[in-house]
Amino acid sequence: MIIDLLANAHLYYNQGPLFKKAFDYLANTDFSKVEKGKYELDGTNLFAIVNEYDTISPESEQMESHKKYIDIQYIISGAERIGHDFLQQQTPSKPYDDEKDFMLWGEKPAFFSVIKAGMFAVFFPHDLHMPNIMIDNATYVKKVVIKVAVG
């Protein structure tokens, strides 16, 4: 996993051309004019999902992971906590759904990070993550998740 500021995105262009395209989209898009929804950037290889929500309590949440896509989660406005762990010997609580590209994990996160506006987190298939978690109280967040096809 990677957590950084969008201003440092150029440091990750070496992850491949889809990463560069994703970060260029984040840097050059006025998200105040982008509605919630899914936006194709390069067919099924690269697409963005813009979402707005209030952060939630972690008690009833589970960590997730993906196999087909890497997540780049960028906070447009607001802030949230994201729980993390590394995929090791855990057993999924919900088996992998190939159509929706996700599985759930019942273990609690090993640690949390606070992600604020202008920051992004990258989650690879071996990274378990629990996004959308409140910091102190529920607050509004606008976020874009870019799905990058695993090479």
Averages of pLDDT over each 10 residues, the chain, 151 residues: 97 96 98 96 97 96 97 98 95 95 95 97 97 97 98 79
Name the amino acid, one letter, at 121. Answer: A
Q: Domain limits of the chain?
A: 2-149
Give yes or no for a contact between 147 and 25, defined as CB atoms under 8 angstroms apart: no
- Per-residue pLDDT, 146: 98
CATH number of the domain at 2-149, out of 3.60.110.10, 1.10.357.10, 2.60.120.370, 3.40.50.720?
2.60.120.370
Return the SS3 of 106: coil
- Per-residue pLDDT, 134: 97
- Per-residue pLDDT, 111: 95
Reported residue count of the chain is 151
- Per-residue pLDDT, 151: 79
